[in-house]
Amino acid sequence: MEKQGARRRRVVLVLPPFQGHITPMLQLGAILHSKGFTITVAHAEFNAPDSSKHPEFFFLPLPANLSDYDNSFWNLLEVITAINVHCKAPLQRYLVQMMEKPEPQDQVCCIIYDTIMYFTDAVANHLKLPSIVLCTTCASNILAWHANPRLQAEGYIPLQESLSNELVPELHPLRFKDLPLDASSEVVMQFTADLCNIRSSAAVVWNTIEFLEHSVLSQLQQQYQIPIFSIGPLHKITPASTTSLLKEDTNCLAWLDKQVLNSVIYVSMGSLAIMDYKELVETAWGLANSDQPFLWVVRPGLVKGSDQWVELFPKGFKEIVGKRGQIVTWAPQKEVLAHDAVGGFWSHCGWNSTLESICEGVPMICRPSFADQKVNARYLTHIWRVGLEIEDVMDSGGIERAIRRLMVEKEGEEMRQRAIDMGQQIKSCVQKGGSSYNTLNDLEEFILSQSS
Ligand code: UDX
């Protein structure tokens, strides 16, 4: 229900130019808008969200001077650093102009920024505005980041190969090779410090669920000493709308309608992970030999150095696709995972994909690529036990075996049952009286209290 006080308050959201971060921030914006807040979305001009799909928001493009980069760079730390340098002055200028206007709807009551848009804190401080951090990865990932300086001081980082399968002290169940960053360069250590520093933020909002990460959230609560609001999974609370940067190919839904219950393996590596040509070929043959129907997302740029992916498929594979597969450049993923025909998700384990899969009771084959994906995969396989991991070299035989284990064998059936139970538990958290439902109401009150 819309609150009297909220309609006249503006919340400014500051989001980075990456799909996995844009989606949860826009979802949070939609939720706050439904509660009566006016929403301004400040974003880098590069990889911008489509404003025409969100007429309810005001959009503020911030020049990010990223013209020197192209999609092949993906040196993420460099890009993030550049954005934090270049977006600061434009955001500050815009907010000053807005606050000079007398209209009540222009009163900014709070700025919510993604963890990696940390320049926002200085802007908020300068303007004496309260700020809140949104964490779009799991809490366990941030706890692992916090451990970086300690692990470096104890000589564990940079990672020694001989230790990679050992458990990290005080970070159960993570092994050294599951750490989101295992290098100790100055850039990495600075990034870790920037990411973990909540500076003068008034609160932290998490796209996670209390029961999933209870103990980790308690540890972080002790460190932060400011309120933590776990209100996930945001996609189950928000009014449905697409936040995709790429066009979704919805034809695959009609194809799914023709498939047998739980028979299809859905394959997607998210928006950033890449593979080389050899991996593409092994994946193709692994899918072909598994005998399961498959829906595979091969987005532009997935294969290093080529956008002409159709040309890359091995001879004979296209015929197999014709018989029992579908290949799309971008899928309506949430609808795909909710479809009865989908029985497994082979994923890079980005946090959004992880939440979307377990919410629909779909067990996973985990093939993490970098950063938090390795942490998510470890939790999926060893704590929640709803996934199995393909480790080391990816060959077609290993892929075929993994698909069979998940889709056909008893082990996979047990994982599916656990995922279904987990999905039901999560759904009850977002319903009236559930933990995320209640915490979201607390967050609303908290935001209103910041400007009263
Ligand atoms: C990035 C990081 O890689 C990830 O580790 C981190 O947790 C968030 O930021 P990304 O790689 O894009 O995200 O993965 P993920 O978090 O899973 O987000 C991908 C989003 O794109 C999901 O919401 C998914 O539903 C959507 N998607 C993906 C589609 O809509 N269609 C597709 O075909 C593929």
Domains of the chain: 10-243+431-451 (3.40.50.2000), 251-427 (3.40.50.2000)
Residue 336 confidence (pLDDT): 98
Q: How far apart are CA 410 and CA 430, in angstroms?
A: 31
3-state secondary structure of 93: helix
Which residue among 80, 335, 351 has the greatest number of ligand 1 atoms within 8 angstroms of its CB, and so is best to mutate?
351
- Digit-coded pLDDT (tens) for 382-406: 999 999 998 877 899 999 999 999 9
Instruction: Note if the bond before 158 is cis, omega within 30 degrees.
Output: yes
Phi/psi region, residue 59 (left: phi>0; alpha: psi -120 to 50; beta: rest), is beta
222 exposure class (CB count in 10 Å sphere: 0-12, 13-18, 19+): exposed
- Digit-coded pLDDT (tens) for 70-126: 554 457 888 888 899 999 999 999 999 988 876 766 689 999 999 999 999 999 999
Residue 185 confidence (pLDDT): 78
Residue 436 CA to ligand 1 centre (angstroms): 22
Nearest partner of 16 among 86, 68, 109, 97, judged by Cα: 86
Tell me the ipTM for this assembly: 0.98
Residue 21 CA to ligand 1 centre (angstroms): 8
Q: What is the mean pLDDT of the chain?
A: 92
Residue 19 CA to ligand 1 centre (angstroms): 6
Residue 74 confidence (pLDDT): 56
Closest C-alpha residue for ligand 1 atom 4: 350
Nearest atom of ligand 1 to the alpha carbon of 354: 17
Torsion of CA 257, 258, 263, 267, to 10 degrees: -60
- Digit-coded pLDDT (tens) for 309-347: 667 888 899 999 999 999 999 999 999 999 999 999 999
Residue 374 CA to ligand 1 centre (angstroms): 14
Closest C-alpha residue for ligand 1 atom 3: 350
The ligand 1 site (C-beta within 6 Å) comprises: 18-21, 23, 136-137, 244, 268, 270-273, 297, 330-331, 333-334, 350-353, 356, 371-373
Residue 287 CA to ligand 1 centre (angstroms): 21
Residue 217 CA to ligand 1 centre (angstroms): 23
* DSSP state letters, 4-59: TTGGG-EEEEEE-S-HHHHHHHHHHHHHHHHTT-EEEEEEESTT---GGG-TTSEE
Residue 241 confidence (pLDDT): 76
* Sheet containing strand 58-62, strands side by side: 58-62, 38-44, 10-15, 108-114, 131-135, 203-206, 228-230
pLDDT range class, residue 2, cuts 50, 70, 90: very low
Residue 62 CA to ligand 1 centre (angstroms): 23
- Digit-coded pLDDT (tens) for 191-230: 888 888 888 999 999 999 999 999 999 999 999 999 999 9
pLDDT range class, residue 65, cuts 50, 70, 90: confident
Closest C-alpha residue for ligand 1 atom 23: 352
